[in-house]
């Protein structure tokens, strides 16, 4: 059985980094459908299945490099929370220097609850994987009920009396992509140095 080397994983990560930069740029030019491409790229980098390994955080961990993301404290969300929005409203870039953000390992960031309405709770991974699967052409099952979603002008939106027509899924994908690009900008040179020194 062929074993993929860390050099090959790094090469794949560089490719995904390039894809994500282009997709992010197009999204910021007003092409909202590029959120779906960003979701598929994020899935390729981070999502692990029974049939495939993720590139990150595994590659970093194997090479002794820790990676962290900035997320929100989840202690304010409890059984009585009826509405919670864990992202920036209005298609604006997140302020990653905000004092209320805390450093999180990837799994905690990935599983962070980002949207609550009534008894519905969605994590970042559910929304990103839903976009990658349903509209980005990747097969996963993040368990979002179809009756809670509809399509307007090509964008997937959660049916929300409270939140109206804001594109919730697109914004969650966009904010994660923004942070991942910053992380990879610093991580890739470190991985190159570490992996090359092993060779």
Token pair for 119: 């008894």
The pTM of this model reads 0.84
Q: Could you report the per-residue pLDDT of 142-155, keeping only the tens digit for each? A: 445 555 554 333 34
Distance CA 162, CA 160 (A): 5
pLDDT tens digits for range 86-98: 888 766 788 888 8
Could you state, in order of their start, the residue ranges of all structural domains in the chain?
A: 6-198
Cα-based distances in Å from 185 to 56, 124, 143? 14, 22, 32
CA distance 165 to 33: 16
User: Mean pLDDT of all residues in the chain?
Assistant: 83
> What are 1's two structure tokens?
């059985």
> What's the pLDDT score for residue 52?
77
Please say whether the beta carbons of 59 and 187 come within 8 A.
Answer: no
Rounded to whole angstroms, what are the CA distances from 127 to 43, 60, 89? Answer: 11, 25, 16
The model's confidence at residue 167, banded by pLDDT at 50, 70 and 90, is: low
């Amino acid at each position: 059985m062929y074993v993929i080397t860390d050099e090959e994983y790094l090469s794949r990560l560089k490719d995904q980094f390039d894809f994500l930069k282009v997709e992010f740029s197009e999204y910021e030019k007003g092409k909202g459908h590029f959120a779906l491409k960003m979701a598929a790229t994020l899935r390729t980098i981070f999502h692990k299945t029974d049939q495939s390994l993720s590139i990150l955080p595994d590659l970093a961990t194997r090479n002794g490099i820790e990676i962290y993301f900035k997320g929100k404290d989840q202690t304010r969300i409890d059984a009585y929370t009826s509405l919670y929005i864990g992202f920036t409203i209005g298609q604006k870039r997140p302020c990653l220097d905000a004092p209320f953000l805390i450093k999180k390992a990837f799994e905690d960031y990935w599983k962070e609850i980002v949207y609550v309405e009534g008894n519905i709770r969605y994590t970042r991974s559910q929304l990103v994987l839903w976009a990658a699967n349903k509209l980005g052409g990747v097969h996963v099952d993040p368990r979002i009920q179809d009756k809670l979603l509809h399509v307007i002008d090509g964008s997937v939106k959660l049916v929300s009396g409270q939140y109206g027509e804001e594109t919730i899924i697109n914004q969650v994908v966009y904010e994660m992509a923004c942070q991942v690009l910053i992380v990879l900008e610093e991580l890739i040179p470190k991985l190159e140095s570490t992996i090359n020194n092993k060779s």
